[in-house]
Amino acid sequence: MKAAIVFTGGGPVLFLTSYDSLEQPEFINKIAGKGISKFIAYEIAIDKVKEKYGKHFDVVMNDVKETDDLRCLDFNGFNVFHNFSLKELGKPVFHEI
């Protein structure tokens, strides 16, 4: 499982995904299915995400209504932006349809 902060026009969103890469076409299609056609994404260490989100992380991971290919952990941009240091972000992935 990977964690990704996806910066969109509406602000950052924190996703969990089972895809191997944030550049994988299936990941991009899933994001597009959520109405996001332009984004900058950064992989973030899953351990840091578990540490920051604790029980909420477990709840989202055990939600049977979601699938492992794309789970939204936090769509509150303020929380996402302030929960992680910019130094923790991986290499950016740029995408625009």
Residue 65 pLDDT exceeds 90: no
What distance in Å separates the CA atoms of residue 59 and residue 57, rounded to the nearest whole number? 6
Burial class of 31 by CB neighbour count within 10 A (0 to 12, 13 to 18, 19+): buried
Burial zone of 34 (CB within 10 Å; 0-12 exposed, 13-18 middle, 19+ buried): middle
In this predicted structure, what is the pLDDT of residue 90?
A: 86
What predicted TM-score, i.e. pTM, was given to this entire model? Answer: 0.92
Domain ranges of the chain: 2-96
- The per-residue pLDDT for range 5-54, each reduced to its tens digit, is 999 999 999 999 999 999 999 999 999 999 999 999 999 999 999 999 99
SS3 content of the chain, % helix, strand, coil (to 5): 35, 35, 30
Q: Are 56 and 80 spatial neighbours (Cβ–Cβ below 8 Å)?
A: no
